[in-house]
């Protein structure tokens, strides 16, 4: 018996996302274009203190299609909950982030 059946229900599909490092906005736009042309519907990128996450998200949203999902991987770089909450408020008006933000028009 397959281990997936032993451990729980199995899936016929597994969600995947395009992944990139924390790049400047112009490169994030290029990365997103590559992702979309390759058929990805989601993009996960690293957040680093030396870059502006809002600029990165905005650049992704400039070229991504409706329904494109964005996940910001901070790797605990925010330090405390306050910066995380602040960022959440700032990016709330952008497209779909991590599946939780409203799907608003850019």
CATH of residue 41: 3.20.20.120
d(Cα 94, Cα 42) in Å, to the nearest integer? 14
Residues 17 and 43 sit within 8 Å (Cβ to Cβ): yes
Question: 7 lies in a domain?
Answer: no
Question: Residue 73 is part of which domain span?
Answer: 15-97
The predicted structure's pLDDT at residue 26: 96
Question: 105 lies in a domain?
Answer: no
Domain count, the chain: 1
Question: 58 lies in a domain?
Answer: yes
Confidence of residue 80 (pLDDT cuts 50, 70, 90): confident
The predicted structure's pLDDT at residue 63: 92
Question: 89 lies in a domain?
Answer: yes
Considering the chain, what percentage of its residues have pLDDT values greater than 70?
82
Q: Tell me the per-residue pLDDT of 37-56, one tens digit each, with 9 for 90 and over.
A: 999 999 999 888 888 888 99
Question: 42 lies in a domain?
Answer: yes
């Amino acid at each position: 018996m397959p281990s997936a059946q032993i451990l729980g229900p199995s899936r016929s599909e597994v969600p995947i996302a395009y992944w990139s490092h924390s790049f400047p906005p112009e490169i994030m736009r290029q990365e997103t274009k590559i992702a979309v042309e390759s058929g990805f519907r989601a993009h996960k990128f690293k957040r680093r203190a030396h870059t502006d996450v809002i600029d990165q998200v905005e650049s992704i949203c400039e070229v991504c299609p409706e329904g494109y999902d964005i996940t910001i991987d901070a790797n605990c770089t925010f330090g405390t909950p306050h910066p995380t909450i602040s960022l959440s408020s700032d990016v709330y008006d952008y497209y779909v982030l991590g599946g939780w933000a409203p799907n608003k028009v850019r």
